[in-house]
Amino acid sequence: MLEPENLKEDDAIILEFKVINPRKENSLENAMQAALVQIEEGCLIIS
The Cα–Cα gap between 22 and 20 comes to: 6
Q: Which residues of 7-46 are buried (b: 16+ CB within 10 A; e: fewer)?
A: eeeeeeeeeeeeeeeeeebeeeeebeebbeeeeeeeeeee
The whole-number pLDDT of residue 46 equals 55
The whole-number pLDDT of residue 47 equals 47
Render pLDDT for 1-47 as a digit per residue (tens, 0 to 9): 666 777 778 777 767 677 787 888 888 888 888 878 887 887 555 54
The Cα–Cα gap between 37 and 10 comes to: 24
